């Protein structure tokens, strides 16, 4: 307030001097109008496009991808890490080539969509991506699209109302040793659906029994999945496929028990050996999944640490990175990097203007300068997709 008042006094004094010298401050513009324009310019400098992009100055920032005209709802790297798919409210799928991740003019291919996309995930082939869309009413559909195909080309397959009349929340994918991929679609209410990535057939449909889904996760091999819900426990399910990739069964195999309030986010490590959760009890946990679940053994809690957020706040997204690094999205666009071995906070970044809606690590390391680095993509309501390198542990 003092700075604002001082600025107005300086402007007023400048106008008085100019008028005393016989030179009008601005032809046809009064002092009151000048003060108004000064306030608008200051506001634009703080919040508008003319403001410096502080996030881009952070040492972990790699790039900000251009071209989006709406809030980001999904990001997904291709199975080989060579491309990044993004979807946003402007009803477009964009495919960015990851040849030079630091190139400010990173090229992309755009494909217009007929329905609003809510999420995106890699197909089991490097040239395909699956898109979760809002259908008519409270319905959700999934389409498998070619990365290099144009807007007029039909999808490889399209599945309608996969969540049985419930609005969509997110989409995940995983591919096992057989090369057969599966998709996990989650509703904002309680429905979960497992789909065959090649045909779009719904392999399993179940209720999370948690009143509401906050998020969902699928292991990289497509074997384990879980939902973060209104309850304090997380149920882990297993998708069984035979050696040829044919579906056998889907059943709950273990629980993640130890939180005292609803779980907001869940994620699996790249090798599927661990899971991470964040709860409104103010803590986040790491779980060991290498248990004899066929003997009713539950996952082992190997770490529990405070989130370091204000009371009532909670991490909204989690993503397991390389080694012991986990990325956590905090309210307001903050990006936290955590160490799963110690529970310590490695780095905090003001990554976006608004909550982070989606994030994913690339399955491969990318060349940056003279080295290769792990890369995280984040998307938010500020119409920005950003790339970050992992911090050193």
Angstrom distance (rounded) from CA 385 to CA 44: 22
pLDDT at 201: 97
Cα dihedral sign for 149, 153, 157, 162?
A: positive
Contact status, residue 376 vs residue 81, Cβ threshold 8 Å = no
- pLDDT (tens digit, 9 = 90+) per residue, 223-275? 999 999 999 999 999 999 998 889 999 999 999 999 999 999 999 999 999 99
The domain segmentation of the chain, as residue ranges, is 56-389
Angstrom distance (rounded) from CA 95 to CA 111: 8
pLDDT at 51: 61
- pLDDT (tens digit, 9 = 90+) per residue, 132-183? 999 888 899 999 999 876 666 889 999 999 999 999 999 999 998 888 899 9
Is 369 buried (19+), middle (13-18) or exposed (0-12) by CB count in 10 A? exposed
- pLDDT (tens digit, 9 = 90+) per residue, 297-339? 889 999 999 999 999 999 999 999 988 999 999 999 999 999 9
pLDDT at 151: 64
- pLDDT (tens digit, 9 = 90+) per residue, 4-46? 444 444 434 443 433 334 444 444 445 445 444 444 443 333 3
- Helix-, strand-, coil-residue percentages of the chain, each rounded to 5: 10, 45, 45
Question: What CATH number belongs to 56-389?
Answer: 2.130.10.10
Query: What's the N-to-C CA distance of the chain in angstroms?
Result: 41
pLDDT at 214: 98
């Amino acid at each position: 307030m003092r700075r604002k008042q001082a600025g107005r006094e300086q402007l007023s004094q400048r106008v008085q001097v100019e008028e005393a010298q016989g030179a009008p401050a601005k032809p046809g513009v009064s002092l009151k109008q000048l003060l108004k324009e000064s306030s608008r310019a200051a506001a634009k400098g703080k919040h508008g496009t003319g403001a410096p992009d502080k996030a881009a100055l952070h040492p972990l920032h790699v790039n900000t991808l251009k071209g989006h005209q709406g809030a980001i709802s999904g990001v997904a790297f291709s199975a080989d890490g060579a491309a990044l798919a993004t979807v946003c409210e402007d009803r477009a799928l964009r495919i960015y080539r990851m040849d030079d991740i630091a190139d400010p003019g990173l090229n992309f291919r755009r494909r217009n969509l007929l329905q609003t996309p809510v999420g995106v995930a890699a197909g089991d082939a490097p040239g395909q991506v699956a898109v979760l869309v809002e259908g008519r009413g409270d319905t959700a559909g999934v389409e498998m699209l070619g990365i290099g195909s144009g807007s007029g080309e039909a999808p490889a397959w399209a599945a309608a109302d996969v969540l049985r009349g419930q609005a969509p929340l997110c989409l995940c994918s995983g591919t096992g040793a057989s090369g057969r991929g599966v998709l996990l679609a989650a509703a904002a209410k309680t429905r979960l659906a497992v789909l065959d990535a090649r045909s779009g057939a719904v392999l399993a449909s179940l209720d999370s029994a948690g009143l509401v889904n906050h998020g969902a996760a699928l292991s990289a091999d497509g074997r384990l999945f879980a939902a973060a819900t209104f309850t304090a426990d997380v149920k882990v399910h297993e998708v069984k496929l035979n050696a040829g990739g044919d579906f056998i069964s889907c059943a709950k195999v273990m629980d993640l028990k130890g939180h005292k309030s609803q779980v907001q986010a869940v994620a699996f490590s790249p090798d599927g050996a661990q899971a991470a959760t964040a709860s409104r009890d103010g803590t986040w946990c790491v779980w060991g999944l290498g248990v004899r679940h066929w003997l009713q053994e539950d996952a082992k809690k190997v770490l529990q640490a405070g989130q370091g957020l204000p009371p009532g706040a909670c991490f909204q997204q989690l993503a397991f990175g390389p080694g012991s690094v986990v990325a956590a999205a905090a309210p307001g666009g903050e990006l936290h990097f955590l160490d799963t071995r110690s529970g310590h906070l490695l780095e905090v970044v003001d990554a976006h203007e608004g909550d982070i809606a989606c994030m994913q690590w690339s399955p491969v390391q990318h060349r940056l300068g003279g080295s290769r680095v792990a890369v995280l993509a984040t998307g938010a309501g500020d119409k920005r997709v950003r790339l970050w390198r992992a911090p050193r542990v």
